[in-house]
Amino acid sequence: MNGKEKRIIALDYSSQEEALALVGVLGEEAAYYKVGMELFYSSGGDIVRHLKADGKKVFLDLKLHDIPNTAAKGLGALTRLGADMLNVHASGGLEMMRRAGEVVAEEALRCGMQAPVVLAVTVLTSIGGDEWARLGQVEPVNKAVLRLAQLTQEAGLQGVVASPQEAAAIRQACGKDFAIVTPGIRPAGVSVDDQQRVATPASALAAGASHLVIGRPVTKAEDPLAALRRLAAEMEGA
């Protein structure tokens, strides 16, 4: 995996036109993009197909969470769009994750395509200790994330979405081939916005993250291309 594939640019826009405008600005500097709920719900599968036709990789970040049959069939349908990564919520349980992974593999084989990586979201990076307690949780966030990561691996999925603050413990517990996709990436001196459990690109990579999801530090920058190049330099320095 080259350096460009380690950084995933979050297309957190409400229209396909806005998203593709940024893709045009970043050009060859960006190879991997995240399509989340806002963009997918407004543009549907068209945005995924457009990015794939342009030679980009796509993380379709819809965080499915439902009963095993519903989540699995939903992920199977999304597989046909050709995204490189899909995800579910680990809190949906072992059987939901296991079934989702099986259906994705079956659908990819049926369509004659490479199966996407299936990840499980552990605990959202916007949730800090106080909010975690308000949800009635007694177990510390970092321990809950590690437990969910190990459950994800037991279910046969290929990795997790977790904050960079838990990456080192996950890497140690789950091994070198387990994908750890980390949102909450903020270069030094940049606002953390609504994120709680954050880290710089260099520290996230040092902790064991395999991919960094980068949104507002690039997409809201006055010069997105220059911001991405600075971030890429920091990653390469790590």
Active site residues: 63
Counts of helices then strands in the chain (DSSP H, E):
12, 8
Distance CA(86)–CA(79), nearest Å, equals: 8
CA 194 vs. chain centroid, Å, equals 17
Contact assessment for residue 20 and residue 50, using Cβ atoms and an 8 Å cutoff: yes
Q: Residues with Cβ < 8 Å from 150, sequence gap 6 or more?
A: 173, 174
Which of these, 73, 56, 62, lies nearest to 8 by C-alpha position?
Answer: 56
Which of these, 27, 48, 28, 21, lies nearest to 36 by C-alpha position?
Answer: 48
Alpha helices in the chain (DSSP H): 3-6, 16-26, 37-43, 46-53, 68-79, 94-111, 129-134, 141-154, 167-174, 201-207, 216-219, 224-237
Total residue length of the chain: 238
SS3 110: helix
CA 143 vs. chain centroid, Å, equals 20
